[in-house]
Amino acid sequence: MRHQIPDRADALVVGAGTGGAVAARRIAASGLRVLLIERHHARDVGRKVCGNALAGDGVAAVQRRIPPPAGAEVAMRVSGATVVLPDGRSTVELPGEGVILNRLVFGQRLLRDAAEAGVEIADECTCVGWSDREAGRVRVRLVGDREAEVTAKVVIDATGYRGLLTRSGGPSREDTLARDQVGIAYREIAPVTESFGPDARVVIVPSPEGAEGGYGWVFPMGDRLANLGVGAQLSGTARTIRDAFVRFRERPGGPRVLAALEGGLGMLPLRPPLASMVGDRFMTVGDAACQANPLHGGGIAPSIIGGAMAGEVAVRASGRGAASAGALWPYNVAFMKEVGSVHAAHDVLRRFLAGLSPRDFTALAAAVAQAGDAGALAGPSARPASNALRLLGAIGARPGLAVAFARTARLMESVRRVYEGYPDAPAGLDAWRRRVGALMRRVGGMGGG
C-alpha cells in the first residue's frame, strides 16, 4: 500500500486487471510516467470470477502483444470441448486446443511486468470519480480514507464492469446497458473425484435449468480440480444464478464435486464494444469498454488486445503533445476492425441462439458437429455467410431452421462489415451509429432473445 501518490502523471490507469496492467506497461516502457491505481491489495490482483479459459485463437492474439501464459500460469491445457445437448445425454465433440489459466498467477505476472517497466503502482487506492473531467483530474481515496487528486494527460478506465469513469464522464454515457446486455455468473473452483487425464476437454452445457439462454461449464484446472460455473443474461435468470449453479453442479452425469475452495458472483457486459472508447484525455479498456465477447463472455484476450492498443495510441498521442479525442481515435479504429467486428457479429448470433427451442438448438448443434468444427457457426474470423454454406445441407431436414440461420448469417456478415468500416475520424461517428442502429433493429425483429 502507498500513503502518498504523485499529483501529476503522463498517464493514470485505474484498475490493475489484464487490460489496465497491459496498457500501463506499454505506456511506461516508452519512458512516460504512469500511475496505476488498484482498489484491492496487490497480492489479490488476478482474482476474478471467470472461466479462466483461452481458446487457441485467444492464445495467439495474446502472444502477439505480450509473452503468452506459461509455466504455473497455465493450470491445464485442453484438447477441445464437449457440448451436452438439451436432452442431457447426447453430446457434440468439438476440436480446438486451448488453455485454462491460473488467473491469479497470470495477473500477478502482468502486474510484475508493469512494475518492471517503471509503472508506479498504488494498491488499496480507490477511484472516487472525476474531480475535473476536462482537466483530466481524478479523485482517489487512500488507506485511512484520506483523499487526493491526480491530474494526467490521459486517463484510462480499466475498472471492469462498473466502468466508473466511463459511465460518469466518458464518451459513451448514452450507451447504457439493458438487462439483456448484462451477463451474470456464479463460479466455484472445487476438487472433483474423477480424474480429467492428459487429454482433458472442457464441458459446455447450454441452457441449464434456471439459466435458460446461458450456459454452464466445467473447465479442468488440474487432474482433479475444476472451474465450474453458470452464466446467463441478467434478464433471463428465472431464479437466482446461485440456485441455477447448484442445480447444474448436482445434475446427473456431471462430475462429483467436493467442497469448494472458492466461489463468487460476477457480472459483465454482453454487447458489442462501446461506440467510442475515447474522449479528450480519456480512454477505456476491458469490461469498462464492453470488450468481452458477447457470445460467451470471454474477456481475457480482448482486454489484453485493448490494453495494448490503448497503450500504443496513448504513447503516440503524447509524443505529439495532445491527447484529444481525435488524437486517441486510432485506438477505436484498430480495436473495432480486429475485435469489435467479430464481437458485433457474435452478438447477432447470441440473440439468435437465445431464441431457439431446445429441439432447434439440438439440430443446429448436430449440424455443427457434422460440419466438423465450431468455426462453421462463428469462428474467429466471424465470416458466417461463407461458414453458413457448410451447415445448410446438414440442417436440410429442418427447412425453417435453415432459413432462419441463413438470414442470421447474412445479418452477421453485414454487421461485421459495418464495424470493419468504422470511421477514421470522430466526424463520421453519428452516421456510423445510424447504420449500426438500423442493422440492430433488424436483429430485434428476428425473434431472438
- The verdict on 192 and 82 lying in the same domain is yes
Buried b (16+ CB within 10 A) or exposed e, 84-120: bbbeeeebbebebebbbbbbbebbbbbbebbbebbbb
- The verdict on 96 and 144 lying in the same domain is no
Contact 386, 334 (CB under 8 A): no
- The verdict on 148 and 185 lying in the same domain is no
Residue 86 has pLDDT above 90, yes or no: no
- The verdict on 172 and 197 lying in the same domain is no
Kindly state the average pLDDT of the residues 225-251.
87
**Where does a domain end: 269, 287, 306?**
269
Kindly indicate the confidence band of residue 448, based on its pLDDT and cuts at 50, 70 and 90. very low
Q: CA 255, CA 189: separation in Å to the nearest integer?
A: 13
- The verdict on 226 and 254 lying in the same domain is yes
Q: Extract the C-alpha cell encoding 197.
A: 487425464
- The verdict on 377 and 431 lying in the same domain is yes
Is 59 within the bounds of a domain? no
- pTM, two decimals, is 0.92
Is 54 within the bounds of a domain? no
Residue 104 has pLDDT above 60, yes or no: yes
Q: What confidence score (pLDDT) does residue 421 get? A: 97
Buried b (16+ CB within 10 A) or exposed e, 192-210: beeebeeebbbbbbbbbeb
3-state secondary structure of 163: coil
What is the number of structural domains in the chain? 3
Kindly state the average pLDDT of the residues 42-56.
93
Q: CA 117, CA 29: separation in Å to the nearest integer?
A: 5
120-123 and 34-38: which strand pairing? parallel
Is 389 within the bounds of a domain? yes
- The verdict on 227 and 275 lying in the same domain is no
Q: What confidence score (pLDDT) does residue 372 get? A: 52
For position 223, which CATH number holds?
3.30.9.10
Is 138 within the bounds of a domain? yes
- The verdict on 155 and 264 lying in the same domain is no
Q: What confidence score (pLDDT) does residue 373 get? A: 47
Tell me, what DSSP letter sits at residue 449? -
Q: What confidence score (pLDDT) does residue 305 get? A: 98
Is 265 within the bounds of a domain? yes
3-state secondary structure of 422: coil
Which structural domain, as residue segments, surrounds residue 382?
A: 342-444
Q: Lowest-confidence range among 48-62, 97-111, 293-307, 349-363?
A: 349-363
Is 210 within the bounds of a domain? yes
Please, what is the angle between helix 300-319 and helix 325-335, to 10°? Answer: 150
Q: Extract the C-alpha cell encoding 52.
A: 479462466
For position 22, which CATH number holds?
3.50.50.60
3-state secondary structure of 357: coil
Q: What confidence score (pLDDT) does residue 362 get? A: 77
Kindly indicate the confidence band of residue 399, based on its pLDDT and cuts at 50, 70 and 90. confident
- The verdict on 95 and 37 lying in the same domain is no
- The verdict on 240 and 310 lying in the same domain is no
The residues, any chain, with a CB within 8 Å of residue 352's CB and separated by 6 or more, are 404, 405, 408, 446, 448
**Where does a domain end: 269, 296, 312?**
269
Residue 2 has pLDDT above 80, yes or no: no
Is 16 within the bounds of a domain? yes
Q: CA 372, CA 353: separation in Å to the nearest integer?
A: 19
Is 335 within the bounds of a domain? no
Buried b (16+ CB within 10 A) or exposed e, 412-421: bbbbbebbee
- The verdict on 120 and 34 lying in the same domain is yes
- The verdict on 263 and 408 lying in the same domain is no
- Cα-Cα end-to-end distance for the chain: 45
